[in-house]
Amino acid sequence: MAPYDVIVAGGGPSGATTAFYAAKAGLNVAIIDRSCFPRDKACGGLLTARLLDELPELRPYIEPVIECPSRDVNLYSPSLKHRIDYVFPLGTPWNVRREVFDHALLEAARDAGADVLTETRVTGYQFNGGVKVTTSRGDFRSKMVIGATGPNDMLAGQVRQRRNLNPWNDREMAIALMWEPVVGKEFIDSAFGDNRSLLVHFKPGGIEGFGWVFPKEGRLNIGFGGYKHSMKLVKLREIWKEYISLLKKDGYFPQEHPVPPVKGAPIPLVGPMKATTMDHTLIVGDAAGMVSPLSGEGIYYGMHAGKIAIKTIKNALKTGNFTQAYLDAYHRDWSMVFGNELSDLAFFSRMVLKMPERMVYYGTRDKKLCEIFADLFLGITPGGLGKKKPMARTLFNAVRYPYFGLG
């Protein structure tokens, strides 16, 4: 069998988008995933508007699976004493269910011409002038491989080894737990209104992170997550029960509904890897740490990186140059688009988690500060806002509204 031009390992949003654009560019591409689709994935399922602006070719697949937009957010301080009610200016976030969304993207890749192999686990790679990909269903050959299997990606591990990069530690990796209980449209209409208001609670149970409720059409997406080192210190099931009790008390979860089960997954929250290529290989999405450390949003970055990668993949196939040095063009390209943005978000995530009580308190008084942070969350300013503006506004608040509480 003739080798593929590209094999994409992992059929989540990052891998499916890479395969979609590669197939659209006329490349001979296969995408391999261990799961049977449609499959679920632990996620809040919140997308930002820029996704469709950057990836208009995927609109016909994404738009039909958007459940509803959310038009505002209620953001609580850890003590619950302060609450910001903020209406999103533009760049409304949308709610999807990952089971449906990921399936639609994989179908997009198939429609574009990619060979889609599901229920097939990638078990290894051998590099020898090309790549032999070993799977649970036999071996496949290609000229290039894309690592898109999420935070524990095997190829990303090899890139780290070759480039002397340390694996993510417990202060760089987060764990998030969530569930999507069906509570009915009627309940959601009455508790969350047409605005489908998002709820965010800082530091539930003292973890270094936040809890959320993202209302969909008939289900609630409820979860909480934080850095692994802080999650290890607490009883996660207790926090889950307490969080559901809090939501019940405030009328955001049906009284009669039992505490739903919970499932979790890791998220790299330190910003992207310093290197995302090696010979014949590119890494995209969570595999490369392309996640906002402020919000945990990774779908947009992974999908955008998949599109950006196509230029380098095409050039490598055209010139026959698959060396790391040549493929580093991909690393430079995505870094130019959102590298600074992600490192700024890492900075602001640390700042917000150091003083969440104070930041929410400032936000209740200063609409401008809310607008700036909404911009950071939603990625309204292309390439990010930089550090100066949010820092200056926070300092302005510190002087104007001295805060003598904790945090």
Ligand X SMILES: Cc1cc2nc3c(=O)[nH]c(=O)nc-3n(C[C@H](O)[C@H](O)[C@H](O)COP(=O)(O)OP(=O)(O)OC[C@H]3O[C@@H](n4cnc5c(N)ncnc54)[C@H](O)[C@@H]3O)c2cc1C
211/302 with CB nearer ligand X? 302
| Residue 8 contacts residue 19 (beta carbons within 8 Å) | yes
Q: How many CB atoms lie within 10 A of CB 161?
A: 11
| Letter string b/e over residues 191-202, b meaning 16 or more CB atoms within 10 A of that residue's CB | bbeebbbbbbbb
Site string for ligand X, 224-263 (x = CB under 6 A): -x--------------------------------------
- Residue 34 interacting with ligand X (CB under 6 A): yes
- Residue 41 interacting with ligand X (CB under 6 A): yes
- Residue 96 interacting with ligand X (CB under 6 A): no
- Contact pick of 4, 6, 8, 12 for ligand X (by CB under 6 A): 12
Residues touching ligand X, count (CB under 6 A): 38
- Residue 339 interacting with ligand X (CB under 6 A): no
- Residue 172 interacting with ligand X (CB under 6 A): no
- Residue 121 interacting with ligand X (CB under 6 A): yes
149/397 with CB nearer ligand X? 149
- Residue 384 interacting with ligand X (CB under 6 A): no
- Residue 276 interacting with ligand X (CB under 6 A): no
34/307 with CB nearer ligand X? 34
4/362 with CB nearer ligand X? 4
CA distance linking residue 147 with residue 153, whole number of Å: 6
44/393 with CB nearer ligand X? 44
- Contact pick of 27, 159, 231, 291 for ligand X (by CB under 6 A): 291
- Residue 271 interacting with ligand X (CB under 6 A): no
Place of tokens 């990625």: 379
- Residue 341 interacting with ligand X (CB under 6 A): no
- Residue 302 interacting with ligand X (CB under 6 A): yes
44/394 with CB nearer ligand X? 44
46/310 with CB nearer ligand X? 46
- Residue 9 interacting with ligand X (CB under 6 A): yes
Would you tell me which residues interact with ligand X (CB under 6 A)? 9-15, 32-35, 41-46, 121-122, 148-150, 176, 178, 223, 225, 265, 267, 285-287, 291, 296-300, 302
